[in-house]
Amino acid sequence: MEMSDNLILVPLAEGFEETEAIAIVDVLRRASLEVVTASLAKKLVMGAHGVAVEADLLWDEVDQSEVHAIVLPGGMPGTTNLRDDPRVLELVRRLSDEGRLTAAVCAAPLVLAEAGVLDGGVPFTCHPSTRPLLEAHSPLEGPRVILSGSVITSQGPGTALEFALACVEHLVGGERAGELAEAMMVPRGG
C-alpha cells in the first residue's frame, strides 16, 4: 500500500470498539482523506463485540514518518492494548510534539494520558466509565466532543460520527465537515 505524508492512522488492537473504528474510517474517507488502519499484531483484529475487521496493514508496515495524524478508537480491552504498546505511545508523543492531530474517543484518552498529551490541563472528555481512571487529568462530562488545539476527544460509540466530523473539520475545514454532516444526516453542535 502506497502512502503519502498526509496519512491518518487508525490503529486497531484486539478488543477495539467497532462502531467507533468504522465510523472514524468511513467519515474520514468520505472527506477524501488518506486513512489507513493498522493492526498491532495480526491483520484480522477482533473487536470488543465479536466483529472481526481486517486491518489495511500491520503496525510495522506503516512508515511512521508519513503519519500526519492518529485517531484512536476506544473499547476494552482495545484501549489498554493500545496504551500498553510502546510503539503507539512513541507515535502519539511525536505527533503531539509536532502539533499534529491526536484524537481519541471513549476510553482511548487513556492512551493520550499515558503518552503525556493530557498533561498541563488539556481539556478533554471520555466515556463516563473511564473518568475515574483519568481523574488526575480532570476529564469533563461534556460537551460530547472537545477540541483543544490539536487534541480532539469524545465520549463513546454514540458520539463517534460527531467525533469523526470534528476530525474532518480540524483537518480540512468546517465547510467539508458541514457538507458531510448534512449528507449523512448528523446533527451538528455540542
Domain ranges of the chain: 7-184
| pLDDT score, position 30 | 97
**Does 54 have pLDDT greater than 60?**
yes
Answer for the pair 52, 44: CB distance below 8 angstroms, yes or no. Answer: yes
- 135 class by beta-carbon count within 10 Å (0-12 exposed, 13-18 middle, 19+ buried): exposed
Which three three-digit cell numbers place residue 78? 482495545
**Does 181 have pLDDT greater than 90?**
yes
Grade residue 3 by pLDDT with cuts at 50, 70 and 90.
very low
> How far is the C-alpha of 161 from the C-alpha of 146, rounded, in Å?
13
Answer for the pair 33, 170: CB distance below 8 angstroms, yes or no. Answer: no
| pLDDT score, position 6 | 80
Instruction: List, for residues 70-112, the tens digit of each pLDDT value.
Output: 999 999 999 999 999 999 999 999 999 999 999 999 999 999 9
**Does 52 have pLDDT greater than 80?**
yes
Residues pairing with 147 in the sheet: 152
Positions annotated as catalytic residues are 106
| pLDDT score, position 164 | 98
Mean pLDDT of the chain: 95
Answer yes or no: pTM beyond 0.75: yes
| pLDDT score, position 187 | 83
Which three three-digit cell numbers place residue 173? 475545514
Which fold is adopted by the domain 7-184? Rossmann fold (3.40.50)
